[in-house]
């Protein structure tokens, strides 16, 4: 199983599309690794600097409809090769969400109030997330602040994460 804990990158905007996650001009790459330096390169967001802000981050927390637009799996791959295997959002576009789990990564939805609360409490602070996969709990910490948030995950998503992705699962079962 992949790692789902570590330093958090906050993206305070809804409707971040896959063109912003990885621009179309890199779709000519046929290796995932080549995408690494270009993650979120074209993101429109105040005070966001892709080069310095992504370094060392292991999770993203964002708003609604993350990953809308093009079906390109290059978007989750660009996250994957940067060591970001967990995205927490108010909601996701269907294809992006499925692509994440298909790659054995996690795309977890939390209610809008919880996302608001997380942004209020942690935005702008060095924040860590600790994922307890068995108990379905995220623990967020920054300075002296600590917040436990439970999440839900369907059984199907869980087996995809456990088996490492949909190719592995489908190949063993069908």
Partner 1 sequence: MGKTIAEKIIEDHYIDNPHDDIHVVRLDAVLCHEITTPVAINDLVNRGKDEVFDPSKIKAVIDHVTPAKDSKTALQGKILREWALRHNIRDFFDVGRNGICHALFPEKGFIRPGYVVIMGDSHTCTLGAFGAFAAGVGTTDLEVGILKGICAFRYPATIKINITGDLPKGVYAKDVILSIISRLGVDGATNKVIEFVGPVVDNMSMEARMTLCNMAIEAGGTSGICLPDMTTVEYLWAFIKDEYASKEAALEDFVRFSSDADAAYDRIIDHDVSRLEPLVTFGYQPDQVKPVKEIEPIKVNQVYIGSCTNGRIEDLRVAAQVLTGKKISDSVRGIVVPATTDVYRQAMEEGILKIFMDSGFCVTNPTCGACLGMSTGVLAEGEVCASTTNRNFNGRMGKGGMVHLASPATAAATAIAGYITNSKLFKD
Name the residue with tokens 């919880």: 114
Residue 89 or 129: the one with the smaller Cβ distance to partner 1 is 89
Residue 116 or 171: the one with the smaller Cβ distance to partner 1 is 171
Beta-ladder partners of 92: 66
Beta-ladder partners of 59: 8, 86
The minimum distance between CB 62 and partner 1, in angstroms, equals 13
Residue 144 or 152: the one with the smaller Cβ distance to partner 1 is 152
Residue pair 22/75 in contact (Cβ under 8 Å)? The answer is yes
The minimum distance between CB 106 and partner 1, in angstroms, equals 15
Residue 47 or 143: the one with the smaller Cβ distance to partner 1 is 47
Residue 7 or 151: the one with the smaller Cβ distance to partner 1 is 151
Binding site for partner 1 (CB under 8 A): 15, 17, 19-20, 23-25, 27-30, 32, 42, 44, 64-65, 68-73, 76, 91-96, 98-99, 102-103, 154-156, 159, 165-167, 170-171, 173-174
What's the chain's length in residues?
Answer: 174
CA–CA gap between residue 114 and residue 164 (Å, rounded): 28
Using DSSP's 3-state secondary structure scheme, residue 105 falls into coil
Cα–Cα distances in angstroms (integers) from residue 142 to residues 3, 7, 9, 85, in the given order: 20, 10, 13, 20
- State the CB neighbour count (10 A cutoff) for residue 158: 14
DSSP 24: G
């Amino acid at each position: 199983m992949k790692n789902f804990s570590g330093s958090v990158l906050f993206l305070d905007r809804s409707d971040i599309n896959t063109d912003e996650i990885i621009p179309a001009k890199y779709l000519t790459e046929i290796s995932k690794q080549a995408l690494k330096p270009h993650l979120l390169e074209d993101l429109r967001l105040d005070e966001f600097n892709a080069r310095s802000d992504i370094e060392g981050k292991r999770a993203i927390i964002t708003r609604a409809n993350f990953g809308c637009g093009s079906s390109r799996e290059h978007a989750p791959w660009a996250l994957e090769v940067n060591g970001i295997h967990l995205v927490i959002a108010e909601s996701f576009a269907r294809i992006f969400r499925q692509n994440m789990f298909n790659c054995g990564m996690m795309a977890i939805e939390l209610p809008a109030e919880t996302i608001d609360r997380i942004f209020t409490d942690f935005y702008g602070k060095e924040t860590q997330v600790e994922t307890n996969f068995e108990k379905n709990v995220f623990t967020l910490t920054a300075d002296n602040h600590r917040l436990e948030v439970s999440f839900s995950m369907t059984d199907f998503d869980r087996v995809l994460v456990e088996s490492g992705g949909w190719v592995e699962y489908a190949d063993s079962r069908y």
